[in-house]
Amino acid sequence: MLYSMYEAGYYHSAPLRLTARMTRDLWSSPLNPWRDTQVGRRIYASADLMTNLTRRYGRPAWGIDSVEVEGRPVAVTPEVVWSTPWVRLTRFRRDPEQLRAAGRATPEPAVLIVAPLSGHYATLLRGTVQAFLQDHEVFITDWSNTRDVSVLEGRFDFHDYIDHVRRMLAVVGPRAHVVGVCQPGPAVLAATSLMSEDADPARPASMTLMGSPIDARLSPTVTNKLAEEKPFTWFESNMIYTVPPPYPGMGRRVYPGFVQLYSFMSMNLERHQNAHLRYLQDLMKGDGDSAEKHLEFYDEYLSVLDLTEEFYLQTIDVVFQNYLLPKGELVHRGRPVRPEAIVDVGLMTVEGENDDISGIGQTQAAHKLCSALPADLQTDYVQPVVGHYGVFNGRRFREEIYPRVRNFIAAHEARVGVRREAA
C-alpha cells in the first residue's frame, strides 16, 4: 500500500512540479529584465529548489569519458561484458593506443569492484572507479533496480548474490583482484572462500574489503543496533512492499529504495536540511559553483533502487542478526563457508576512523576468519578522520587510501605472475 501511495503522491504533485519548473525557467531566462534583481533571484531559487525536491531521480550516467594516465588523457568507454536480469558487469575500456602513448604497453591488473546492493546505484562509486582506472583494467557490478525485473525472472537472494560474484570473477579472468565496498564484503569473502576450497583457477589474487560488516557485532553503530534490537518480523512487516503498475516488476515484493533513502536521511536530517538551505542561499547570491556542487551530490544521493524482499531479509538475518559468517555457521547451497580455506589470496582491509555505518573492527574481522592465510599476505589500514563515504571516495581516498590499495594489488599481481591478454 505504501508504494502505491508514494506513486500517487508523485503523480498528484505534477501540477506543482510543472508550475515550479515554468517559474524557474521564466526567472532564469536572459530575456527577463528582472532576472538579476534580488526579488528575481529569490523567486528563481525557490522555484528551482521545489523542482528538485519533487522530481524523479533515475539511474545516473557514469559520465567517465576519459582518465589521466601518466599525465595524458586516455579515452574510456563503458561496455557491458556480461549480464543477468539482476546485474550488468560493466568494463571501463581504456583506449589501448592512448595507453601505449602514456607508457603503459603491458596489460595492467584486472580489478572487479563489487558495488553495494543497498539502495544506491553503482554510480555512487564513480570516484572509486576513476581512481582505479589510472592503473587497472576496471570492472564493476552495476546492479539492477528490482522494480524493473519481472516476477517471471524468479527470486534473487543472498546466495544468488554470492553465486553472481563468483561467476563475474570467472568472466573477468584468472587471478583477478576483487574489491568489495561496504555491504558486499560478507558475500565477497564467502565467494572467495568457496573458490579457494575448490582451487578454482578464477579465484582472486587479492581481496580488498572496504568498510564492510564482516562481523557486525564489533563496534556496533546506530545501523547495527537497529537491526539487532528490532525482531526479524518487524522488518518483514514494516520494510517490505509490493511494486505497483506500471513497472515491469509489478507484483514483486521489495524493500523500496525510497524507504532506504528516508532511513539514510533521517540519521542526519539536520545536516540535509542545512545543505538545502545553503543551496537556496547560494542561488539567491548567484553563487553558481557552490550550487552546482550541491546538485552533483544530491543527483547521486537521491537516486535509489529497490532490493528484492528475499535479498534484503536474508542480509538482515545472515549479516546483522545471526552473524553467521563470523560464527562459522554460514552454509551456501548445502556447503559450509570456510574462510580458513583461503591460503593464497592477498587480504587487505580498509576502515575509516569515523565510520558510522561499519564501525572499526567489523572489516578487520576478516583477518581472524582467514586463519590459514600467511601473515605476509595480509594488510590492514585505518584511515584517520574519514567517515563511511570517505573510505571509498573523496580527497583522502584518492591521496591516501587508493595509493595503498594500488601498491597492495601490484604486489599480489607480481606474486601470482598471471599473463594477461592485451585489450
* Mean pLDDT, residues 290-300 taken together: 75
Lowest mean pLDDT among 96-110, 271-285, 342-356, 406-420: 271-285
Q: What is the pLDDT of residue 347?
A: 98
Does residue 274 or residue 177 have the better pLDDT?
A: 177
Please state, in angstroms and as integers, the Cα–Cα distance from residue 422 to each residue in 100, 112, 133, 261, 342, following that order.
Answer: 11, 17, 15, 41, 29
Q: What is the pLDDT of residue 179?
A: 98
Q: What is the pLDDT of residue 369?
A: 98
Q: What is the pLDDT of residue 421?
A: 55
Q: What is the pLDDT of residue 287?
A: 66
Residue 422 has pLDDT above 70, yes or no: no
Lowest mean pLDDT among 33-37, 98-102, 227-231, 379-383: 33-37
* Mean pLDDT, residues 196-224 taken together: 95
* Mean pLDDT, residues 175-198 taken together: 97
Does residue 263 or residue 151 have the better pLDDT?
A: 151
Confidence band, pLDDT 50/70/90 cuts, at residue 194 = very high
Lowest mean pLDDT among 21-35, 174-188, 276-290, 338-352: 276-290
Q: What is the pLDDT of residue 6?
A: 75
* Mean pLDDT, residues 184-208 taken together: 98
Domain extents in the chain: 1-56, 66-228+307-416, 257-305
* Average pLDDT value over all residues in the chain: 91
Report the CATH number of the 66-228+307-416 domain.
3.40.50.1820
pLDDT in tens, 38-93: 888 888 778 877 787 777 878 899 999 999 999 999 999 999 999 999 999 999 99
pLDDT in tens, 96-143: 999 999 988 778 999 999 999 988 899 999 999 999 999 999 999 999
* Mean pLDDT, residues 216-238 taken together: 91
Q: What is the pLDDT of residue 37?
A: 85
Q: What is the pLDDT of residue 261?
A: 77
pLDDT in tens, 300-331: 778 899 999 999 999 999 999 999 999 999 99
